[in-house]
Amino acid sequence: MMRRKLSLAAAVVTATAISLTACSGGEAPAADLSTVSIMAPFLEAQPPSADGAVQKKLEELTGKDINITWTPNASYEDKTNITLASSEIPHIMVIQGKTPGFVKNAEAGAFWDLTDKLDDYPNLKTTFPDIQQNASINGKVYGVFRGRAPMRAAVMFRQDWLDKLGLEAPKTTEDLYTVAKAFTEQDPDGNGQDDTWGITIPKWGALGSNSPYDLIEEWYGAGNRWTEKDGKLIPSFETEEFLEANRFVKKMVDEKLINPDFATFDGTKWNEPFFNGKGGIIVDVDSRVSVLVNLFKQADPNNYENKVGFVGNLEGPDGELHAHPTDGYSGFLAVPKSSVRTEAELAKVLEVLNTMNGKDVAILLNNGIEGVNFTVEDGKAASIKPETEESKAVTTDIKSYAQLGMNVGGNTFYPVKQPTEYEQQVFDKRTEVMAEDLKSAVYNPAAPYVSATYVSKGAQLDNIVADARIKYLAGQIDEQGLKDAIKLWNTSGGDKVTEEINQLWQDNK
């Protein structure tokens, strides 16, 4: 009796143990890699279906079964870390940035070092080596970067208000103040009430996140995250220009030229005050211009032109243009070592990535399927109207599939033909303004460098200054308080970060 019980117990234990090992030992089947698994974020409400037309075409073009795990963008970072700790690791992972979690894993050897490999593949050899360098960890390239237009900063404003008040589009930060003040005080909507303000800024505090604050600081000449001074790199908030820029913003807050709830205003509602005629200026990326134009168009298709005006970067008080570029990439596609074990397997995966970077796949991922949802007119992709069930599905799906696009050799897909003449004009002007501003771009000199101290506590450190900046603007602390916070950044580990960054900068010069 007893013995039988014991053996039963033993059996249960063994069974559990077996099932546990079965979970953890997900050995990838041999090296032929007929199926390539990819983990990618999606920003739409629904992930694309696994048997849609885009998926089929992608498999046809790459000659592989592509198995994509779509993960909601909001929890992507968490999911990346959890996936790396698990045993179900895909062959290719979209990594959204050099987060501490990624850096630690990469330095522990979780991903293949592709520094010397990418140049062997015609479509993976980048024509933007600087951006590839920016996306690297101290010079080591751990993934194929996803290229993004580096110049995106723009100031957009209500053109109708500007015309009504007889003002010029701003060229300098001082002009921005003038326009914001007029929008606040001169009743630009003509309803006889004091119910408008100049600039709308949402809850958005983090340092170096291309926020409106970051842009204005850069325009003032504070630099882009890091700036060179006396042969040494220092964080941009340690410059005098940083303080000047924030004095300028504070002046606008104090004079109520900025929405009073800028510390808590929900960023997803950013367009509303602009559209509803409350706040007349937005400082953000230029693509928002087209979004705003479209908002007005949907509200009134017959009268939407000349509602939205925009300019690019603004000249600072020193009379020079310090345009604010991004680092030129939005994460990268990395290859984990635990799923791709040998050099031979890696070569196969890179082959797939090479195909995905080719023109055909680039068009598929960004434009869709020619003849189904778009046709080519004067080198532009024009969407086919009216939409069919089929074309709609493709158009929806590519919004997610574009996440897989890398375009390290520049955009090889077709630019989108805008639906109306006016929108095409706006689009062309955007392209033109951004190209012009790019010539005056001030890049982040420390972009490729990752300091060990910053990895372990950088976000907490930066929060000290970021929160102090908002508190200063809101009037909770004075300028001395802001300076004290910057000093606290230094003493809590920031000095070490600066030291390490400078070391890396010197070593790689």
Partner 1 sequence: MSQLTDALASNIGHGQGPGTDAGKSSKPRKPPKVPRGKFSVHFAHYKWLYLLLVPGVVYFAVFRYAPMYGVSIAFKDYVPFLGVNGSPWVGTQHFQDFFSNPDFPRLLGNTLILAFLNLGIAFPLTIVLALLLNEVRLSILKRTVQTLVYIPHFLSWTIVASLSFLLFALDFGPLFLFLNNVMGTNIDFLSDPNWFRPLIVLQEIWKNTGWGTIIFLAALATVDQDQYEAAIIDGAGRFRRVWHITLPGIRSTIIVMLILAIGQMLNTGFEQIYLMTNALNRSVADVFDTYVYFVGITQGAYSYSTAVGLFKSLVGIVLIFGTNALAKRFNQSGLF
Q: Which residues here bind partner 1, judged by CB under 8 A?
A: 1-2, 5, 16, 77-78, 81-82, 84-85, 99-102, 104-105, 108-110, 203, 205, 260-261, 263-264, 266, 336, 338, 456, 458-460, 463, 466-467, 470-471, 474, 476, 488, 492
Residues 406 and 114 sit within 8 Å (Cβ to Cβ): no
Quick one: which of 238, 161, 232 has its CA closest to 207? 238
| Minimum distance from residue 109 beta carbon to partner 1 (Å) | 7
Closer of 289 and 466 to partner 1 (Cβ): 466
Q: CA torsion, points 214, 217, 221, 225, in degrees to nearest 10?
A: -40
Closer of 199 and 408 to partner 1 (Cβ): 199
Q: CA torsion, points 237, 433, 301, 202, in degrees to nearest 10?
A: 0
| Minimum distance from residue 105 beta carbon to partner 1 (Å) | 5
Closer of 382 and 470 to partner 1 (Cβ): 470
Closer of 24 and 302 to partner 1 (Cβ): 24
Residues 51 and 79 sit within 8 Å (Cβ to Cβ): no
| Minimum distance from residue 115 beta carbon to partner 1 (Å) | 19
Q: CA torsion, points 26, 31, 32, 33, in degrees to nearest 10?
A: 50
Task: Please report which residue ranges of 300-388 form alpha helices under DSSP H.
Answer: 343-356, 359-366
Q: Which amino acid is at 209?
A: S
| Minimum distance from residue 81 beta carbon to partner 1 (Å) | 6
Instruction: Tell me the three state secondary structure of residue 143.
Output: strand
The DSSP H or E segment spanning 371 is none
| Minimum distance from residue 311 beta carbon to partner 1 (Å) | 28
| Minimum distance from residue 275 beta carbon to partner 1 (Å) | 17
| Minimum distance from residue 237 beta carbon to partner 1 (Å) | 15
Closer of 338 and 355 to partner 1 (Cβ): 338
Closer of 245 and 455 to partner 1 (Cβ): 455
Q: Which tokens hold the place of 329?
A: 């990439």
CA 20 distance to own-chain centroid: 39
Closer of 198 and 309 to partner 1 (Cβ): 198
| Minimum distance from residue 460 beta carbon to partner 1 (Å) | 7
Task: Please report which residue ranges of 25-124 form alpha helices under DSSP H.
Answer: 53-62, 76-85, 100-107
- Rounded Cα–Cα distance for residues 200 and 126 (Å): 38
Please give the order of strands across the beta sheet that includes 35-42: 65-72, 35-42, 92-95, 329-334, 143-147
Task: Please report which residue ranges of 221-358 form alpha helices under DSSP H.
Answer: 240-254, 271-275, 287-299, 343-356
| Minimum distance from residue 1 beta carbon to partner 1 (Å) | 6
Q: What are phi and psi of 419, to 5 degrees?
A: -65, -30
Closer of 416 and 470 to partner 1 (Cβ): 470
Ramachandran sector of residue 183 (left: φ over 0; alpha: ψ -120 to 50; beta: rest): alpha
Closer of 294 and 456 to partner 1 (Cβ): 456
